[in-house]
A and B are shown apart, each in its own frame.
Chain A
Amino acid sequence: MTQGVLSLDNRLGLDKYEIDEQSHISIEHSRCANCGLKPCLTVCPAAVYVWVEDKVAIRYENCLECGTCTIACEGGGNGGITWHPPQGGFGIVFRYG
């Protein structure tokens, strides 16, 4: 099956998650309005950030907890992301790592 290219959703579907009811990511939307590059929209390996109706929407359930978005938003964006680790035991569960 690997010979064909896997879609991102198929890839994320391979992973195990313990989904928390509450989002561990929040956005201060007023900052995004003044953010030229919007790196969050491209840099996330799980495409958690999407541009919907003039706003950044979050699909936090897919988060791989890599930390890229916060660094990209701080240094290349406008600091709109607040990211906390999910509460203990929740979120991504790597079986190989």
Chain B
Amino acid sequence: MDEFDVVIVGAGPAGATAAYLCANAGLSVVVIERGQQPGSKNVSGGLIYAQIYDEIFPNFWKDAPVERTITGHSVVFLGDTAATALDYRAEASAPHYNAFSVLRAKFDPWLAAQAEAAGAMVMPGFTVDELIVENGRVCGVKAGGDELRAQVVVVAEGTRSQLLKQAGLREAYSPKDVSIGIKEIIQLPEQTITDRFQCLSADEGAAYTLVGHTGGVQGGGFIYSNRDTLSLGVVAKIDSVYKSKKQPHEILDEFKSHPFVARLIHGGEVVEYSAQTVHRGGFHLIPQLYGDGYVVAGSAARLLLNNVMTLRGMDVAVASAAAAAKAVIEASGKGDFSAAGLASYEEYFKATSVYKDMQTFKNVYPLLENDRLFSTYPDMVCAIMEDMFSVQLQPGKKGYRALRDRMKDHDVSLLNLAKDVYQIGRGVAL
């Protein structure tokens, strides 16, 4: 029955970062990961926003298995058959390069290896079955029939956070607050991807966020370019999925059948099908992050930033884990791992730019609830574009006239439009 300073559950970005920092500070650390290897259970869209990684693992991209540097970001509104895109392109000018695409089965082992090199022990292939709680204090974990005791447990087990629930340390989640991400990896030649995503070289890639055409469910799609694969998926609110009575793979097929999407994936071969839950995020959902003998980081603490254009979970996980590690290291100096001894975690987290970004985008949430955003506007925007671009027998319309006519076609009142514009403004713009 070993006694460690720190036991960490999960070798995702949160767990690996906490392990790396705590081990660097000289603490004895063990990370328990249920996958055969770190990453073998993990699914994400695959964009890492690099700033915080660079801060902790300087110049990581030189060494880490990243796929492409993301130099193009597009938001695309999918109408029934048409598409309207807002396309942003930049040069991959300077470190930290803003964002990279990654595949978790390759990237997570690299992160875990950094923790190992710093002296942490990483144990893949073991599932933590429960937290050991004595007199209201977490003092270790049970895994594979063994007990591992520790001064402090870092809970970094991802979205489901089963252990916290079992121990009565979190409330049940509502299907309204969690989405399902359904994903495929689609293989294509490297050069085809470079050309099709309008990149200058195979080091560059582009990311598409797609709104609309997801079978009436509340959510959106993504297509990100990797070296010789694409990451394609739909992220949809769980209750809207079961209310739609459509199976997740059918929703995915509907998305893939859209001409805009079909063009990007044409000729590709699906090589993996996966799914994972993801919190819908939101400032108002940030829970208590610590207690006697434990801290919670990353998705296990529901930390996620979604501002319609970008979905950030992996850098958020790293930032929260870094704040948690700082508090743990301090607690170790004081010899106090009680809730009071770990409370500085919250202060450190509140000082991060991630926390401030979550605060900035706190009004996005109602926007994500607005059905018109997913079902009506994408098609309406495309219809207005059609009015602008097509030459027909009937005389053409100027913008405002086209807008009013299309609003009528799509059953959108002026009042609704005004409310929605206000909501969009409050959520992402003003």
A residues neighboring B (CB under 8 Å): 1-3, 5-6, 8, 11-12, 14-15, 18, 37, 39, 42-47, 64-68, 70-72, 74-76, 83-89, 91-97
Contacts and interface: CB of A to CB of B under 8 A. Distances in A.
24 contacts: A1-B270, A2-B265, A3-B266, A5-B257, A11-B249, A14-B271, A14-B272, A42-B247, A44-B247, A45-B182, A45-B275, A46-B275, A66-B276, A67-B276, A71-B238, A72-B239, A84-B162, A86-B127, A93-B40, A96-B104, A96-B271, A96-B274, A97-B43, A97-B44
Interface SS, B side: mixed
Given A74-B172, A89-B36, A42 B245 contact: yes
A18 B129 CA distance: 19
Contacts of B160: 67, 70
B369 interface: no
Give 10 closest A-B pairs by Cβ, nearest first. A97-B104, A39-B242, A89-B125, A11-B273, A66-B275, A45-B248, A45-B275, A97-B105, A88-B126, A67-B160
A22 to B, nearest CB: 13
A46 to B, nearest CB: 7
A1 B265 CA distance: 11
A59 to B, nearest CB: 14
A44 B274 contact: no
A66 B44 CA distance: 11
Interface of B: 34-36, 39-44, 103-106, 108, 124-127, 129, 143-144, 159-160, 162, 172-176, 178, 180-182, 184-186, 229, 231, 238-239, 241-242, 244-249, 253, 257, 265-277
Contacts of B274: 15, 64, 66, 92, 94, 96-97
Given A84-B162, A94-B105, 11 more contacts: A8-B247, A14-B271, A43-B241, A64-B274, A64-B275, A66-B181, A72-B242, A89-B35, A89-B36, A91-B41, A96-B271
Given A5-B253, A8-B249, A43-B180, A94 B41 contact: yes
Nearest to A13: B273
Contacts of A43: 180, 238, 241-242, 248
A96 B105 contact: yes
Contacts of B231: 96
B137 to A, nearest CB: 24
Given A75-B173, A97-B43, A68 B125 contact: no
A88 B143 contact: yes
A14 B255 CA distance: 20
A95 B185 CA distance: 10
Contacts of B105: 94-97
Given A5-B253, A6-B270, A85 B34 contact: yes
Q: Is the interface of A mostly helix, strand, loop or mixed?
A: loop
Contacts of A68: 178, 180, 238, 241, 248, 275, 277
A94 B245 contact: no
A37 B270 contact: no
Nearest to A89: B125
B180 A66 contact: yes
B43 A1 contact: no
Nearest to B159: A67
A24 B44 CA distance: 23
Contacts of A39: 175, 242
Given A11-B270, A68-B277, A92 B41 contact: yes
Contact of B277 (A6, A46, A71): A71
A5 B262 CA distance: 12
A88 B277 contact: no
B144 A45 contact: no
Contacts of B249: 8, 11, 45
Contacts of A96: 103-106, 185, 229, 231, 271-272, 274
The CB with the most chain A CB atoms within 10 A, among B44, B231, B277, is that of B277
A45 B238 CA distance: 11
